[in-house]
Amino acid sequence: MKQESADPNTPPRSPSPAPSAQHPRDDGDAQALWIFGYGSLVWRPDFAYSDSRVGFVRGYSRRFWQGDTFHRGSDKMPGRVVTLLEDHEGCTWGVAYQVQGEQVSEALKYLNVREAVLGGYDTKEVTFYPQDTPDQPLKALAYVATPQNPGYLGPAPEEAIATQILACRGFSGHNLEYLLRLADFMQLCGPQAQDEHLAAIVDAVGTMLPCFCPTEQALALV
């Protein structure tokens, strides 16, 4: 892929898988693999890794369009979690984790259950630009939920997504926690990291939260 240079509209320098997918390897280490996380993986990877870098991928936008009946919801009340939507003007921030040697097979085995079996995600190769060295992009593996998977919910107004998030809980916790942790991560990335979809849902939640539960319960959820 042609290497792109940074411009004023992009962040400046400054932290079973599908059988057909080929796992991108680190050019400097044939036994190394980079894995890009843009949802719960940014704060809870839960696998051993050798290095991690905050950065972004271009050509994709993050959307709360995937249903979750395990981690953040149930069969009766699916939660809303994120996937990547191909978008020529898009830029999605996240964290890339490098796994090496035995870490590679262990991480892929774990993520196959967490993301593919329980989440409905497939694998896709993306180009990751580290925040500190965007002129040195890396090939990385990302887990993406496509419209073909049975849990895919697709687009909805941000207010409707916020309502669904406020009502759902799964084995990994409340759907609201997922939303707010992702929003916190974006804040830590700095003002250059923008996600209008995420921000609109957070704003809608802030407006609706007092109507869903008393103040004490609302603070407990946050």
Burial category of 111 from C-beta neighbours within 10 Å (exposed 0-12, middle 13-18, buried 19 and up): buried
Name the token pair of 189. 């990335």
For residue 31, the 8-state DSSP code is: E
Residue 177 appears among annotated catalytic residues: no
Crossing angle of helices 158-167 and 196-212, rounded to 10°: 50
Cα angle for residues 189, 119, 89 (degrees, 5° grid): 45
**Rounded distance between C-alpha atoms, residue 69 and residue 86, angstroms:** 24
| Residue of 4, 86, 102, 115 with catalytic role | 115
Q: How far is CA 118 from the centre of its chain?
A: 15
First-residue to last-residue Cα distance in the chain: 41
**Rounded distance between C-alpha atoms, residue 92 and residue 163, angstroms:** 24
For residue 42, the 8-state DSSP code is: G
- Just list the catalytic residues: 115
